[in-house]
Amino acid sequence: MRVKVLGSAAGGGFPQWNCACANCRRMRNGSVRSRPRTQTQLAIAANPEYALRTYWSLINASPDLRSQIAATPELAPFANTDSSSPVRDIYLISADVDSLMGLLHLREFQAFNIYSAPAIKRILSEENSMFRVLGRARPPVQWFSLPFASQVNWKEKLDPAEAPLFIARAVSLGGEYPDYVGEKLRRELPETEAVVGLAFEYQGKHAFVAPTLRGLDSEWKKWVESSDLVLLDGTFWTDDELIRTGRSKKTAREIGHLPLSGPGGLFEQYPRTAKARKILIHINNTNPILDEDSPEHRATLEAGWEIAYDGMEIAL
């Protein structure tokens, strides 16, 4: 399994166009050691059935997707064909604008598959008619329901040569639907489908991806403990980060993100026995870990975490 990080920031990117927090300000004037980041987007290559061509699955369809694809040579159309793209499957984790707005960048009469919870399809098809442009492709874009896993249930680890299938499961992480979803539809949608993590399996290797993690129950820890790679919610360092930086009146937890530090934060809750390579993604522009000279950045690395950046590649 090859994973490419095409974007590693939370909504708004880094720097964010309308933000003058210390990080964004210092990024603009070049006084911070850091990197600009686009909004969270992953691509995974895992397709044994096509030996001659590598097809890619996208996780998220970020608002930056057009430029992210353009910056990634592996995602360019195959040579010697008219319009054949290596982008074949797209996995959506929620109906957040930051998770799916990029579908509109893919509207150029291209057939592909979307995998999501049924609720996400309903939100886009019943209330957001602009997404019907995806139906113009011939054949049209196909939409599939992600299978939900109620508990950790990887297939038995097999000899990699005998277990070639790429399998994706959704893990319900609880949460809320975005504000833009109408009241009536919102009442009909199950809470379990609002935000999911994705558990991927390929040739005996397991990856768990949860860029938005509320951490309200402990099921996620079991997925982490049985994975070889985890990409988890690195949005905020502290619970009151948006309040202190004047960006919002809400805490990290109130908008669905477990903060990294503090009592009950991700670092404290992360299972001690887990052996996975652990990477933080979906990093908000206010987060002090973006400053590579900050004590928070150092503490994160010392705790064994990696901090995702645009262009990062992971081989599993």
Contact yes or no for 223/152 (Cβ under 8 A): yes
Asked whether position 119 contacts Zn ion by CB under 5 A, the answer is no
Considering the complex, state which of residue 206 and residue 297 has its C-beta at the smaller distance from Zn ion.
Answer: 297
Considering the complex, state which of residue 19 and residue 213 has its C-beta at the smaller distance from Zn ion.
Answer: 19
Considering the complex, state which of residue 21 and residue 260 has its C-beta at the smaller distance from Zn ion.
Answer: 21
Considering the complex, state which of residue 21 and residue 209 has its C-beta at the smaller distance from Zn ion.
Answer: 21
Task: Candidates 285, 287, 294, 300: give the one binding Zn ion (CB under 5 A).
Answer: 285
Q: Could you tell me the smallest distance in angstroms from the CB atom of residue 297 to Zn ion?
A: 16
Per CB under 5 A, the segment of 26-34, 82-90, 134-142, 277-285 that binds Zn ion is: 277-285
Q: Site residues for Zn ion, window 3-22 (CB under 5 A)?
A: 19, 21
Considering the complex, state which of residue 27 and residue 90 has its C-beta at the smaller distance from Zn ion.
Answer: 27
Q: Could you tell me the smallest distance in angstroms from the CB atom of residue 12 to Zn ion?
A: 8
Contact yes or no for 199/224 (Cβ under 8 A): no
Considering the complex, state which of residue 18 and residue 151 has its C-beta at the smaller distance from Zn ion.
Answer: 18
Q: Could you tell me the smallest distance in angstroms from the CB atom of residue 138 to Zn ion?
A: 43
d(CA 166, CA 187): 34
Considering the complex, state which of residue 235 and residue 285 has its C-beta at the smaller distance from Zn ion.
Answer: 285
Q: Could you tell me the smallest distance in angstroms from the CB atom of residue 5 to Zn ion?
A: 20
Q: Could you tell me the smallest distance in angstroms from the CB atom of residue 16 to Zn ion?
A: 5
| 19 to 38: interface string for Zn ion, x by CB under 5 A | x-x--x--------------
Contact yes or no for 209/200 (Cβ under 8 A): yes
Q: Could you tell me the smallest distance in angstroms from the CB atom of residue 36 to Zn ion?
A: 12
Give residues in contact with Zn ion (CB under 5 A).
19, 21, 24, 285
